[in-house]
Amino acid sequence: MNRDERQTRATLIDPLLRSSGWAEDQVEREYAYRPGKLRLLGEQTVRDEPQFVDYVLRDEPRGAILAAVEAKDESHAPGAGMQQALAYATDVLAPFAFATNGHEIVEQDMRTGAVRRLTEFPSPDELLKRWQSDVTWRGQTVTGRRGGEASNPLLQPAYSLPGAPSMRYYQERAVSAAIEQMLIGHRRALLSLATGTGKTFIAFNIVYKLLTSRYLKRVLFIADRVNLRDQAYNEFGGLGDRRGVVMGGHVPLERDVHFAIYQSLYAQSPAGPRVFERYPRDYFDLVIVDECHRSGYGDWGAILEHFDTAFHLGMTATPKEDDSINTYSFFASENADDRGQPRPVYEYSLGRGIDDGFLATYKVLKVSTSVDEGLVINDEIERGAELLVPEGTTPRDVYEMRAFERDIIVPDRTRVLCDHLAGVLRTYGPLDKTMVFCVTMEHAELVRSEMQRLLGSETGKNLYAARIVSEERDAQATLEQFQLASSTEPVVVTTVDLLSTGVNAPSVRNIVFMKPIGSVTTFKQIIGRGSRIDALTGKTFFRVIDYTNATRLFDEWDLPSQPTVTGPLTGNVTIAGYVQDEESGEPVGGASLSVRLQGRLLAETRCATDGSFDVSDLPSAVLDVFISASGYTRRHSRVDSTSDDARNLVVALRRPSQGERRVRISGLEVSIKDEIEVDFGNGHVLPSSDYLARAKAVIRERVESLDELRGAWRERAQRDSLSEYLAIRQVTPELLGLVIGRTDVDAFDLLAAAAFDAPMTSREARAAAAQGELEKKYPKLPDGLIAAVLDKFRLGGTAEISSSELFSLLPFSATWGGVLGVASQLGGPEHVAAFLQDVQICLFDTEIDG
């Protein structure tokens, strides 16, 4: 009988590794590679299955990765897992990939492409020597930057302390990429990783390896804001008292790692020279410039010129764009691509972070007003608007939206936007932390005031909204309070640009653009404020609310992967489905529908009176589908026309959530013109059919039939065990109810329908059928007691009637004496559990129409 994969690993592969000299602490089993992509399912998220590398082989504990091993059970061919092994080795930058069935091993050298078949694994020494062969800087020892022999920092184990986080695969790659540039003799390098991926943690591990190996001695870390400097200082806590802060002209020469903002370094010292000039030119071996895209060479250039013998490492969260060209030309000039263009030594995008499951995914709501196409001043004056012109100022004839609040104050529009935003927050969560990016300090104050007026009293919070701008004395304290996941105030913060970069606030769920954005760099930094996952608050996705068309700047860097099927503009494919009201589920007849491919219109139609639509003769491609109806938010979805779901689309239109739609102040009339929810494609969204298929497989792993499910559901211990197992795998009544569209049934019916296609029975019907049976069985119980128990089931399902604690609630506590009184009616405490068990048996023993 063939062993399964786990048995094959334990009884065949593990002994092979041991016999080849691999110690336990050199073998990392089930290396946590990717936690699984988060997909949107309504207002919930579901993770894809996590990915693990069966084995990662290191030269020593937490040291360099030498190989990735993919194991298959012994019934497979030895090379059956090689494609997976190659993919893993590519991502974790392992020089060797192995696939094995426990009897034979296939190896591929990732440097040469050479493949060979083996009966045993190479030893650690053999792999290390082969990796080092013909490359002088990969030796066990190297020459340090100040001369003398040093251990190779690439082989130095990463920082390790009980409870300390391990590096993720892309962080290990970034660390190795930066160190390699030093070893091969380059003078500069650039790392580009999306916000939320741990750039400061990467910098710490680079410095830790370099210091511990004695490859270098002193490091300067430069930020451009005090809070970023202090965050880095804390992140480097593993270095203890080797850290020092440059502040107030003080230069901590007794420390090895110095933290500073470039403003402090560039300041004039009391003795005369600038602070950075008090250091000898060769004092530092490594200078790290954090968020180097924003400062610009003019700000830190003189400092780097002074420390020109050090290695210069730039870190940015922005891919190369026109407004970051100087950053790339300076830091990345020694790492050009095939066209001679500078590039980072390692890059990890927001889209890749979402694909891997390390970053939160997002939704986009785009909103425009009736004045966003521009204000023609004379037309507005003729309509009765009052124009106040400061002395010495000549007004323009036309003001475009990008001039609003900067060149012309339009408070009426701001109030309409705040009214709309308040409605969105009421719909999705008025206590969800929100960042609003404004044009000026005055604009930020008006938005703050309006949001406090609209939602402060509703939520009972005196500090519901706060303005955070650098000029305010208490800005840092307010920011720190907002950053805490546990803090309940403020909920909404308004700013100009203080929060656009480097601010770590994982619990933020809404990013709001009331400020026009022209810089791709700034846009990506702002989006990064929402991309962190927050385990404390359960935040796994964020919402972008765009009032200025800033989201036009989304590009491939920001988007998770999605199907890219291309072809002709016509074909034999059909997409079909129906449109319904999100809240009521009623069909929305007459909705307009258009289908586009890469901007070209393919078809336009209207839904039938029952909300159905059917569009044929479409190509096999990822299509843009736009649906709108009067009084509803317009929807934009990307549909893979080759998928089965394309024939059964359900589009839920939402009515815009806002108060008064039209505001007239000073004679200027402003209203919400358009609102569209943008779906960036299947990379974000988990189709309902996929979720149900996943749920069916997971449920059937534990229960093989409807009768077995019913039996497990009657017993509280079994039910709790099953529910816990399913919840870990994201099969929950909440998600099933959302997908199936039934909120009136018990969790049992949802599970039965998903796994066994069983008909569903409402809680009301089950309670009505069970009442007669229970009254026959317990004729001496007081009138109304059984009905009261079943009412609890009607409201909350099985969970509400699983424990005797039920009887401590109303009406039991007031009418029948609570737990003790009900126990007395049942003949003693020992009969309470049996009674509740009988209730559940009666509820689920038989099938009921309903």
Residue 281's nearest CA partner among 308, 314, 252 is: 308
Residue type present at position 143? T
Residue pair 198/173 in contact by the 8 Å Cβ criterion = no
pLDDT, mean of residues 823-840: 88
Question: What pLDDT does residue 662 have?
Answer: 32
CA–CA gap between residue 415 and residue 431 (Å, rounded): 20
pLDDT, mean of residues 585-608: 87
Buried residues in 198-210 as b, exposed as e (16+ CB within 10 A): bbbbbbbbbbbbb
Tokens representing 643 are 């998928």
Under the banding of pLDDT at 50, 70 and 90, the label for residue 518 is: confident
Question: 694's torsion region: left (phi>0), alpha (psi -120 to 50) or beta?
Answer: alpha
CA–CA gap between residue 602 and residue 615 (Å, rounded): 10
Better pLDDT: 180 or 801: 180
Tokens representing 70 are 């993919």
Residue pair 639/563 in contact by the 8 Å Cβ criterion = no
CA–CA gap between residue 189 and residue 334 (Å, rounded): 7
pLDDT tens-place string over residues 504-514: 788 999 999 99
pLDDT tens-place string over residues 378-422: 888 888 888 887 777 788 888 888 888 888 888 999 999 999 999
What average pLDDT is seen over the chain?
87
pLDDT tens-place string over residues 428-456: 999 999 999 999 889 999 999 999 999 99
pLDDT tens-place string over residues 43-72: 888 898 899 999 999 998 888 899 999 999
CA-to-CA separations, 729 to 636, 680, 754, 849, in angstroms, rounded:
30, 26, 15, 31
DSSP assignment string, 282-318: TS-SEEEETTHHHH-HHHHHHHHHHTTTSEEEEEESS
Residue 437 pairs in a beta bridge with: 495, 513
DSSP assignment string, 198-250: -HHHHHHHHHHHHHHTTS---EEEEESSHHHHHHHHHHTGGGGGGEEE-BTTB
pLDDT tens-place string over residues 778-825: 998 999 999 999 988 888 888 888 888 888 888 988 889 888 998 888
pLDDT, mean of residues 256-268: 90
Better pLDDT: 84 or 297: 84
pTM: 0.79
pLDDT, mean of residues 180-199: 93
pLDDT tens-place string over residues 117-134: 999 999 999 999 999 987
CA–CA gap between residue 451 and residue 430 (Å, rounded): 11
Residue type present at position 713? W
Residue 782's nearest CA partner among 812, 759, 738 is: 812
DSSP state of 560: P
Tokens representing 400 are 């475009």
Question: What pLDDT does residue 665 have?
Answer: 34
Give Cβ neighbours of residue 394 (< 8 Å, ≥ 6 apart): none
HEC letters along 695-740: HHHHHHHHCCCHHHHHHHHHCHHHHHHHHHHHHHCCCCHHHHHHHH
Residue pair 327/292 in contact by the 8 Å Cβ criterion = yes
